[in-house]
Amino acid sequence: MTAIVICLAALLFAARLRTLLRVWRLPLKNGEGFFLTQQVGPGFYQDVGVPLFRRYHAFVLATGLLDMPLALWLAVNERYAAFALEQIVALVISIVAYNFMVAHFSALATSLCPDQGRPVATSLQLSMEPRRLSDYAIPAVEAAVVGTTLLSLGLLGRGYALALASTAGHSTVRAFHGGVVLTVWVLYWQVGFLLLKGMFVRWRMPLPTNRTEDFRRWRMAWLNHKIRIFDAVRLFCALSMLAGMIWMTYGREWSSTWQAGFLGLGDVVILTYTIYVMREDRRLAAIERELKPVEIVKEFPRWPIPEGHYIGGVLYFSRNNPRVLVRSTRGVALNLAHSATHIGAAYLIGLIALVIWMSRLVG
């Protein structure tokens, strides 16, 4: 079991490193004519863009290494389970921070570049097409998630009954406790991805003044990609919970052949999930090569800095502004009065509390 936890922690650390390297190279993804999504002039990376490029890389490293003292302490003290849980929280926080960072530095690059004829936006053009979460629900996927979850809860109930029985051994009680931890953990992630899916579905993006239909097509391809990935993760989490319940309930009674077969089946599920995600990534990449969304960005007007209360240029407070991120004098600012900010902060605090609880259980 310890070896599995160590492998999981190593995989999570590798995922964080891969994310850091991808974000590190992101400014030049579209060539030297761009900084992130902002088109820049010749010599930008040898002139005004030099300090911006250095600041960007400094923020990337600081975000990736901020938790390193805690991670090293957990690893040195052989608290591998707590180390794995800490890496999960750090991965989530870094992804959120990197997304904000990309928007922030794109806005900074915009302020360093000439307007190139782009007008300042005085009105907002939004698609009025209604979007409901139910419109993007696939019945087969939802049925599989719900059915698998209910079956897992049934196995947890069976474990509770066995733990109460007078003949139940210590291993049965431990299996039930493990089932409770697994259930709480997976259900929390299920709620998180469902909230994230709802936020993406209801997210109203402005429309460009030109190439509107191309943008609509790319926007729908991007949205469908995100929804398919979220659904795949939710289904994978539900199957993982069921597999864990089956293993804790019946695994110790199986022969080595059955155990190997069950683990092999799990490997097949993981491989299928990986292939599916890679296929969806390739489909979105093909649409992006065709429509070139980075060029459509030039069709958007430059947004003015809205009125409101700013804190350090990166935090903003206005209940009357419908945007989560707004332009500020220092790049972009997060609107603390927006409901999406409240939900995200509450979920992240809950995740940290859940990890602390689980870390105390595993020791």
pLDDT digits (tens, 9 = 90+) for 90-149: 888 888 889 888 888 888 887 777 655 455 544 445 554 556 777 888 899 999 999 999
User: CB-based burial of residue 266 (10 Å sphere; 0-12 exposed, 13-18 middle, 19+ buried)?
Assistant: middle
Nearest Cα to Cα of residue 192 among 277, 280, 88 = 88
- What SS3 class is residue 275? helix
Predicted pLDDT at 28: 87
Assigned domain for 152 exists: yes
User: CB-based burial of residue 248 (10 Å sphere; 0-12 exposed, 13-18 middle, 19+ buried)?
Assistant: buried
Assigned domain for 4 exists: no
Assigned domain for 212 exists: yes
Residues 6 or more apart whose Cβ sits within 8 Å of residue 199: 340, 343
Assigned domain for 90 exists: no
Assigned domain for 113 exists: no
Q: Render 52-90 in DSSP notation, one character per residue.
A: HHHHHHHHHHHHHHTTHHHHHHHHHTT-HHHHHHHHHHH
Q: With b meaning 16 or more CB within 10 Å and e meaning fewer, what string describes 175-200?
A: bbebbebbbebbbebbebbeebbbeb
Assigned domain for 282 exists: yes
Q: Quote the tokens at residue 94.
A: 């870094």
Predicted pLDDT at 276: 93
- For each of the chain's 363 residues, which pLDDT tens digit applies? 566 677 777 888 888 888 899 999 988 888 888 888 787 878 888 888 888 889 999 999 998 888 888 888 888 887 877 888 888 888 888 888 898 888 888 888 877 776 554 555 444 455 545 567 778 888 999 999 999 999 999 988 887 777 776 555 566 667 677 788 889 989 999 999 998 888 888 877 777 777 788 888 888 898 899 999 999 999 999 999 999 888 888 877 888 888 889 888 888 998 999 999 999 999 998 998 888 877 777 666 667 778 778 887 788 888 888 788 888 877 888 888 888 889 989 999 999 999 888 877 765
- What SS3 class is residue 305? coil
Phi, psi (deg, nearest 5) at residue 315: -120, 145
Q: State the total domains in the chain.
A: 1
Predicted pLDDT at 188: 93
- State the first-to-last Cα distance of the chain, in angstroms, to the nearest integer: 14
Name the amino acid, one letter, at 160.
Answer: Y
Q: Quote the tokens at residue 142.
A: 């939802």
Assigned domain for 158 exists: yes
Q: Which domain holds residue 174?
A: 138-300
pLDDT tens sequence across 214-256: 888 888 898 899 999 999 999 999 999 999 888 888 877 888 8
Assigned domain for 232 exists: yes
- Per DSSP, 306 falls in state P
Predicted pLDDT at 150: 94
User: CB-based burial of residue 117 (10 Å sphere; 0-12 exposed, 13-18 middle, 19+ buried)?
Assistant: exposed
- Can you name the residues that pair with 333 across neighbouring β-strands? 326
Query: Is residue 104 within 8 Å of residue 332, measured between CB atoms?
Result: yes
